[in-house]
Amino acid sequence: MDLELILEQMPVVIHSLNIGFLQTLKLFSVTLLGALPLGLIIAFGSMSRFKPLSWLCRVIVWIVRGTPLMIQLLIIYYFPGLVLKNAIWGGGESGRFMAASVAFIFNYACYFSEIYRGGIQSVPKGQQEAGLVLGMTRTQIFFKVTLLQMIKRIVPPISNEIITLVKDTSLARIIALQEIIWAGQAFLKGSQGISGAIWPLFFTAVYYLIFTGILTILLGRLEKKLDYFR
């Protein structure tokens, strides 16, 4: 493998990887948009005083955290069509994207819910009581008092999950979602006149590295921003 050949292949490969990375970004964003709020709902569910609900939420969290995301992807994508004979996802890339989004949102919501739960429970009870004594409603106490303290506490662990998510999106390759790994791999099998090239697959790592780098800086800034109180 010589450098000249790589340079020659570069424009085609970069173009292809860019398209793949766009799909990676899309899955990443959709997962965050869905999982961040859903996680909060699950967190409240598992803290509910209504036992059947909290029990149900905890069992779901156990199952989702206790099995590989890759298996969840496969089941969510293939189960409706193969077993139920009802291909709810439809064909093609959009169907794969839908299935992958559902699997990722659900999986990450469960992880987030545990982080939220820890965050909520770590805010001292006295904060809630101070709010009550001042005639605030529980909703007001949550949004005006507890929420920001909780956010401050969960930013570091959530950042960690977000960085992991960037790389976990590559698991969607298993259902042939055309994200960046898929795009890089294509040149191994042969695509656009290039075949047997493994360097594009290796090169995808650069994309992940740059993106997680940017996220690390942004999340670090958010953490700093919340430094004004303790």
Partner 1 sequence: MAILEVNDIRKSFDKTEVLKGISFSLEKGQVVSIIGSSGSGKTTLLRCLNFLEKPDGGTIAVNGETLFDAADPATQRESEIRKKRLHFGLVFQNFNLFPQYTALENVMLAKELLAKEQPGYKSRRRDIHDEIRVQAESLLRQMDLGDRMENYPHQLSGGQQQRVAIARALALQPDILCFDEPTSALDPELTREVLRVIRGLADKKTTMIIVTHEMAFARDVANHTIFMDDGHIVEQGDPQQVFSHPTQERTRRFLDSFNQ
Contact residues toward partner 1 (CB under 8 A) are: 124, 126-127, 129-137, 140, 144-145, 148-149, 152, 228-230
Nearest distance from C-beta of residue 24 to partner 1, angstroms: 36
Report the distance separating Cα 138 and Cα 144, nearest Å: 10
Instruction: Return the number of the residue (15 or 221) whose C-beta is nearest partner 1.
Output: 221
Instruction: Return the number of the residue (119 or 184) whose C-beta is nearest partner 1.
Output: 119
Nearest distance from C-beta of residue 137 to partner 1, angstroms: 7
Nearest distance from C-beta of residue 136 to partner 1, angstroms: 6
Instruction: Return the number of the residue (50 or 229) whose C-beta is nearest partner 1.
Output: 229
**CB-based contacts of 171, cutoff 8 Å, min separation 6:** 69, 70, 73
Phi-psi region of 196 (alpha: psi -120 to 50; beta: other; left: phi over 0): left
Report the distance separating Cα 228 and Cα 230, nearest Å: 7
Nearest distance from C-beta of residue 51 to partner 1, angstroms: 19
Instruction: Return the number of the residue (163 or 226) whose C-beta is nearest partner 1.
Output: 226
Nearest distance from C-beta of residue 116 to partner 1, angstroms: 18
Instruction: Return the number of the residue (130 or 206) whose C-beta is nearest partner 1.
Output: 130
User: Do the beta carbons of residue 187 and residue 141 sit within 8 Å?
Assistant: no
Which string of b and e fits 111-149 if b means at least 16 CB within 10 Å?
bbbbbbbebbeebeeeebeebeeeebeeeebbeebbeeb
